């Protein structure tokens, strides 16, 4: 059955907060979208207000849903996000969503490991909430570069690593995953983050015959698979759009030897 996609032209901003040196958390009133959003899906936001730039919408993972509120977590790093970071509560955004294919939760798995690198934390809030709603216990493994970039996850059962050792365990988040897999029984892995991290997580899971889903990040123009601007090569050698066939994929479906696409 085709999923219903909505466009809300005047979605009010309810709050907008700085949560790290480079990240912001924004909450929007989106009752129609909140009722159907699934973990791993995203919103497409038009950030320009009457001006031609930026022309294209920007995709943002749905971070969480609480009642009629939908929140996103994002990093300020380009023209679009810099404009977004200046918007205040009470202003409105033009939103299309929910878009994309989300995480497929297997309730038969005994342990559910959420692996996030940097802003790969973004989709994990709603995934954790959904797992808890199914009486399953999520465990977050979260890696960042330093304590300055650490975003408080808001998820119980969290282990943290940092590349410089300024918070949590020193090293990459994959080291936390390897440690955890030594004692896990029948786990499922859900990952989001930079391409090299996802490639490493996929390799670890493949080697240990553990099911793994990855949420890919990509530049998206249309958000619905029409423009083919966000394609990635799958393991069959074909190209698929991240925006409508993903952003969540079974890690075995991706050709990890292609050039970095995110």
User: Model confidence over 107-142: pLDDT tens digits?
Assistant: 999 999 999 999 999 999 999 999 999 999 999 999
Residues 6+ apart with CB under 8 A from 65: 34, 37, 71, 126, 129
Query: What are the C-alpha distances in Å from 204 to residues 77, 134, 194?
Result: 30, 27, 16
pLDDT on residue 157: 82
pLDDT on residue 260: 64
Are 194 and 262 a contacting pair, CB within 8 Å?
yes
Phi-psi region of 164 (alpha: psi -120 to 50; beta: other; left: phi over 0): alpha
Map residue 99 onto helix, strand or coil: strand
DSSP for residue 149? G
Tens of pLDDT, residue by residue over 216-227, are 988 787 888 888
Strand 187-192 to strand 158-162: parallel, antiparallel, or no bridges (unpaired)? unpaired
Single pTM value for the model: 0.94
Is the peptide bond prior to 247 cis by the omega test (within 30 degrees of 0)?
Answer: yes
φ, ψ for residue 32 (rounded to 5)?
-70, -40
Tens of pLDDT, residue by residue over 46-84, are 987 665 667 788 999 999 999 999 999 999 998 899 999
Q: Please name each of the domains of the chain with its CATH number.
A: 6-99 (2.40.30.10), 111-253 (3.40.50.80)
């Amino acid at each position: 059955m085709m999923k219903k996609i909505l466009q809300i032209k005047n979605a009010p901003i309810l709050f907008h907060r700085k949560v790290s040196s480079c990240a912001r958390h924004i909450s929007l009133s989106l009752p129609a979208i909140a009722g159907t959003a699934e973990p791993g899906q995203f919103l497409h936001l038009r950030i320009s207000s009457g001006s031609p730039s930026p022309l294209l919408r920007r995709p943002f993972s749905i971070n969480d849903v609480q009642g009629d509120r939908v929140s996103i977590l994002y990093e300020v790093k380009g023209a679009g996000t810099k404009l977004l970071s200046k918007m205040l509560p009470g202003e409105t955004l033009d939103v299309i969503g929910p878009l994309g294919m989300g995480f497929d939760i297997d309730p038969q798995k005994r342990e559910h490991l959420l692996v996030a690198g940097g802003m790969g934390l973004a989709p994990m809030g709603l995934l954790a909430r959904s797992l808890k709603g199914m009486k399953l216990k999520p465990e977050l493994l979260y890696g960042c570069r330093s304590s300055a970039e650490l975003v408080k996850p808001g998820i119980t059962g969290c282990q943290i690593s940092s590349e410089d050792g300024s918070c949590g365990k020193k090293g990459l988040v994959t080291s936390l995953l390897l440690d955890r897999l030594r004692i896990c029984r029948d786990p499922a892995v859900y990952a989001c983050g930079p391409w090299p991290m996802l490639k490493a997580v996929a390799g670890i899971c493949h080697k240990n015959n553990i099911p793994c889903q990855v949420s890919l990040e990509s530049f998206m123009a249309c958000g619905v698979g029409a423009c083919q601007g966000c394609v990635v090569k799958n393991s069959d050698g074909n190209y698929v759009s991240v925006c409508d066939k993903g952003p969540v994929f079974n890690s075995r479906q991706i050709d990890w030897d292609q050039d970095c696409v995110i």
